[in-house]
Structure 1
């Protein structure tokens, strides 16, 4: 069968080569392209490119290696490409997207956490605290909540986060105060 004066086999091969080149280009410049296509969130460029590449590749193979009619080859190629794109989307892209989100933390999520002072927190200045999390260690600048110095190595309780700076209190003193209040 011919389309626009070209055989379907050569059209499939041309589309396969072009989509392969676009995929390679997308590999290098994907972040910029995703930023430009942010409004069309339902069309993921990865799955669209995968569909076109797999459709043209499988259709080219069927056209050149079998004697099935061109209409059935188009349907088989589309079915194979749709199945592969759905598998790619649901088993690779969705888990990757949720994994990226789970590694993030908000400043509000640090409230109430316990950390360790790695650079002494002076009474009226800044030190540094590390907090262990599931994704690793979080290192943040810290200031004393009640303007008392906290030496290196002490455990601290995060009271608040203001402009990216942890407001911390010495954890041992905070425990002593809470036990004194509960005895009355």
Structure 2
């Protein structure tokens, strides 16, 4: 093909597609913003680059270690690449996309949450609370609902979030 042995072509495609995949992983957010590529789940650049990487790797290995005809090798490699890309899409990329969305939270989501005071909340001022979530811990400035001092280490409940500041009250698990 193109005056080169097919093994060389497969190896060249493998190197180029593998390099482009690596660069895309590093710069995907920037490249998506610059080129404004519509986000289609089956025609995303990472899937296309992955397809060519797996196709060329399988083709190179089959050419090197088997005696099958080149057309059969090309078709078998394309089938393997298609299956690998489908597995990547459904078991890696889709879960990653949904996990990325689940890390976001709004201030309204924090209302009603339990937190721990890490910097004492004075009667007429601001302290700091720590909210433990599945995605990590969040520290927020806090003020007391009843203008009373709340000591560090006290468990509180977030009554309201306003402009990034939590209005909190002492949490009494025995009082409903």
Q: TM-score range by the shorter chain?
A: 0.7 to 0.9
Aligned residue runs from structure 1 range 96-111, under 5 A? 96-111=96-111
Aligned residue runs from structure 1 range 70-109, under 5 A? 70-109=70-109
126-135 vs 91-100, greater mean Cα deviation: 91-100
Q: Tell me which residue corresponds to 1:62.
A: 62
> 1:38: how far off?
5.6
Q: Tell me which residue corresponds to 2:21.
A: 23
57-66 vs 109-118, greater mean Cα deviation: 57-66
Moved over 6 A (4+): none
Q: For residues 12-36 of structure 1, give each alpha carbon's deviation from its aligned partner in whole angstroms, at most 9, with x where no partner exists.
A: 2211121122233334434423444
77-86 vs 22-31, greater mean Cα deviation: 22-31
> 1:158: how far off?
0.9
Aligned residue runs from structure 1 range 22-171, under 5 A? 22-36=20-34, 39-42=37-40, 43-171=43-171
State the alpha-carbon separation in 2 of the partners of residues 37 and 157 from structure 1. 45
Q: For residues 121-171 of structure 1, give each alpha carbon's deviation from its aligned partner in whole angstroms, at most 9, with x where no partner exists.
A: 223321101223233432211122343333333332211111211111233
Query: Which structure 2 residue ranges, 5 or more long, are not aligned?
Result: none
Give the alignment's TM-score, normalised by structure 2.
0.81
> 1:120: how far off?
1.7
State the alpha-carbon separation in 2 of the partners of residues 131 and 28 from structure 1. 32
* Rg larger for: 1
User: How many residues of Structure 1 are paired with residues of Structure 2 in the alignment?
Assistant: 172
Per the alignment, in what secondary structure is the counterpart of residue 53 of structure 2? helix
> 1:51: how far off?
0.7
Per the alignment, in what secondary structure is the counterpart of residue 94 of structure 2? helix
State the alpha-carbon separation in 2 of the partners of residues 8 and 65 from structure 1. 13
Query: Which structure 1 residue ranges, 5 or more long, are not aligned?
Result: 180-184
State the alpha-carbon separation in 1 of the partners of residues 36 and 145 from structure 2. 41
Per the alignment, in what secondary structure is the counterpart of residue 122 of structure 2? coil
Per the alignment, in what secondary structure is the counterpart of residue 26 of structure 1? helix
